[in-house]
A and B are shown apart, each in its own frame.
Chain A
Amino acid sequence: MKKYLAMLLAGAMCVSLLAGCGGSKSASSGTAASNAAASASSASASAEAGVLKIGGIGPLTGGAAVYGIATKQGAEIAVQEINAKGGLQLSLDFQDDEADAEKGVNAYNKLKGDGIQVLYGCTTTGSCVAVAAESFSDRIFQLTPSASSADVTAGKDNVFQVCFTDPNQGTTAASYIKENGLGTKVAVIYNNGDAYSTGIYNAFQAQADAIGLDVVAVETFPDDSNTDFTVQLNSAKNAGADLVFMPIYYTPASLILNQAKTMNYAPIFFGCDGMDGILDLEGFDKSLAEGLMLMTPFNAWGSDDRTVNFVKAYQDAYGSIPNQFAADGYDCMYAIYEACLKAGVTTDMSAADICEKLIATFTDSSFSVDGLTGSGMSWSTAGEVSKAPVVVKVEGGVYVTQ
């Protein structure tokens, strides 16, 4: 009987322990008015008083981690620079979403629970659309560095993009190829299991039809088996294509370049911003990319002060050359910072108030941001950024702006 008594007591202790947890939780979440008031006053009195809490979301693990990590690191460089200036201080809490909508919403809810005031992210489109629906109903301002689908901002006044949209890229690419006479017969190789790739291709094809660009071959590859491209390349070669448009990420593109070389097929290869980073790919022979053209908003070998300083800071901190994802992330932080200064946002405002002020500022025609990925960036009420894509060509292992 003693044994049971001991067990009962132990059980009671466990329960009281749990009850203790519950009590402290309710106090910190501020259900009781007095508790809330007390915690609010203590928060404003603490050292973190003047910090604007920014929550970031992007993939830090999984297949898309390279992009998420780049946006995180680019933003961190910007936050350090801004905080070093004094004045408005930013803090960035970046959460992993594994490029998955479910995890993205989970990460968002976690950040919301922590009381973020501005949302930065997500890196990938699928996750971003799901999170944007949440931030729209909660009224938290959201700025994404790289979720480029038009669906991200559609119907949501609080969501803005720093990258250009997929359809915009496809249209611009088709026009650029036509206007500069880069190729008469164009082949397209794209990933039909990927939203980004398909989105660009659809717009490219529509524009090509409209302006009379001759698309002779359209080849696809699935998302999960992308190691052999000889079939696609042969089809392009047999169709006599002198330009291959590849709206894909750089990892499969590096294999395509390699395989084209072994089969002595040398058209002009033309990529989009997902191709940026190919020169930094481990084990990639840079000579293969010679002559490769791509549209990217950011040239890490640019000579303006802003780019040089950023690349240096990034290399010192992380030991690699930043790609356009990092640059977009950097610009996001500055866009938020400058909009906050212009709108007179203070750190004790609620997320909803900040949201309204920032929306008004971003859509204000007099507001523009000079960043790494474009100067004089301004935003439409639809949330899309207006900046000109830059076409670069790889010459001697570096980008040369065309």
Chain B
Amino acid sequence: MKQLSPSRKKLVNNAVTYGIVIAAYLIIQVLNAGGMVSPSIQGQLVPICAYITMAISLNLVVGFSGELSLGHAGFMSVGAFSGVVVSLSLQEAIPSGPVRLAVAMVVGAVLAGLAGFIVGVPVLRLQGDYLAIVTLAFGEIIKNIINILYVGIDETGLRFSITNEAALGLAAGGRAILKGPMGVTTNVKLSSFTAGFILVLIALTVVLNLVNSRAGRAVMALRDNRIAAESVGIQVTKYKLMAFVTSAVLAGAAGALYAMNYSSLAAKKFDFNTSILVLVFVVLGGLGNIRGSIVAAAFLTVLPEFLRKLNLDQYRMLVYAIVLILVMLATNNETSRIFFASLRSKFLGLFKRKGGAR
């Protein structure tokens, strides 16, 4: 019986991840066509895709690069609001919804990447706890800036202000898009499940290819032993920044997708709690485990809505927390891990035997 070579094993592993995502998409589409998906699930498909992308991108920083980032919602916020502003200001120029969504997501991704670069250059000189605190502060700064930012559009172009709506000085026929703490209240919904699915696939491709490339191995080498990696000539800042900016770009695209799914959106949404939520997806799914991130993000997004069905009323969020703790304990328990590992090896053994018999 031939043992799979490491590269081949990785290929199979990645193929399984892609397979799960594509299969989930197809199953939902088929069920949807048959009218068997409840409105509750239907409404959550786009946020699930956005959160999956967030989890995949954060896993690149936390799991592969080994840096604890607590400001990921900040990048999502940059992508979300720039995406909305682009989409609303191009309403006349690009009548087609999907094209406008794509443009919004690209602009959101680029601006979030830019923010990631600006933050990353000073921040990635720090390590460990310091880096975590600085990213946390960055997330709050982004939130507070957007909270006082007013953006409007008239025939002369975009106008910005940080005082109030009247200070925009909009000409007749102009309209305010982003209104400080009120956020965006006149958004046009464009997101669809298919767009979300495509984004998840793109994120998967980018992250899996990066991780399995020369640069990815350099990033992981820096995580495992910084001194040893530096001693063989790996540039710390370059590779760390590469992972960080890639992660920010994907988070920006996810933010734009998320924002375009709601007709109102405020900066408050992207606070510390959202950063932690995404971090929980990553930790629950397993650091450096992309497939785990996907499953955890989908599971934890659906869970609170599923608990609504049980009519728990005020105990719903309490139950959510308890389930979260139990799942964390179960997945990080040595006994259960051995159990799952043995289960997997048995299944693999079964397949191999079948393959051998053929």
Contacts and interface: CB of A to CB of B under 8 A. Distances in A.
B255 to A, nearest CB: 13
Contacts of A149: 182, 185
Nearest to B271: A224
- Report the interface size class on chain B: 35 or more
B183 A195 contact: yes
Interface string B102-135: 0000000000000000000000000000000000
Contacts of B189: 133
A52 interface: no
B40 interface: yes
Nearest to B263: A133
Contacts of B266: 101, 126, 195
Given A101-B265, A129-B264, A192 B180 contact: yes
A60 B43 contact: no
A101 B40 contact: no
A112 B166 CA distance: 39
B83 to A, nearest CB: 16
Contacts of B166: 202, 206
Contacts of A202: 164-166
A347 B319 CA distance: 34
Interface residues of A, number: 46
A193 B38 contact: no
A105 B182 contact: no
B182 A130 contact: no
B223 interface: no
B36 A29 contact: yes
A26 interface: yes
Contact of B44 (A4, A25, A106, A193): A106
B186 interface: yes
A129 B335 CA distance: 48
A109 B40 contact: yes
Contacts of A29: 35-36, 38
B239 interface: no
Contacts of A212: none
Contacts of A100: 269
Nearest to B264: A129
B40 A129 contact: no
Contacts of A192: 147-148, 180-181
A7 B347 CA distance: 10
A228 interface: no
Interface in B5-24: none
Does more than half of chain A's interface fall in helix, strand or loop, or is it mixed?
Answer: helix
B316 interface: yes
B233 interface: no
A91 to B, nearest CB: 13
Nearest to A198: B181
Nearest to A112: B39
A42 interface: no
A129 B179 CA distance: 14
B350 to A, nearest CB: 6
A223 B262 contact: no
Nearest to A61: B317
Contacts of A223: 147, 181, 268
B120 to A, nearest CB: 25
B230 interface: no
Given A22-B36, A29-B38, A130-B264, A194 B305 contact: no
B183 A95 contact: no
A110 B41 CA distance: 8
B268 A193 contact: yes
Contacts of A199: 182
Contact of B262 (A7, A31, A61, A105): A105
Contact of A130 (B35, B147, B262): B262
A29 B47 CA distance: 23
A283 interface: no
Given A106-B40, A113-B40, A101 B264 contact: yes
Interface string B176-213: 00001111011001000000000000000000000000
A110 B308 contact: yes
Given A31-B36, A110-B308, A202-B166, A129 B263 contact: yes
Given A7-B346, A206-B166, 14 more contacts: A29-B35, A31-B35, A61-B317, A96-B314, A100-B269, A101-B269, A106-B43, A106-B44, A106-B305, A110-B39, A110-B40, A126-B266, A151-B264, A193-B181
User: Closest 8 CB pairs between A and B?
Assistant: A129-B264, A133-B263, A109-B43, A151-B185, A195-B182, A109-B39, A113-B39, A130-B264
Interface of A: 3-4, 7, 22, 25-26, 29, 31, 60-61, 95-96, 100-103, 105-110, 112-113, 125-127, 129-130, 132-133, 149, 151, 154, 191-195, 197-199, 202, 206, 222-223
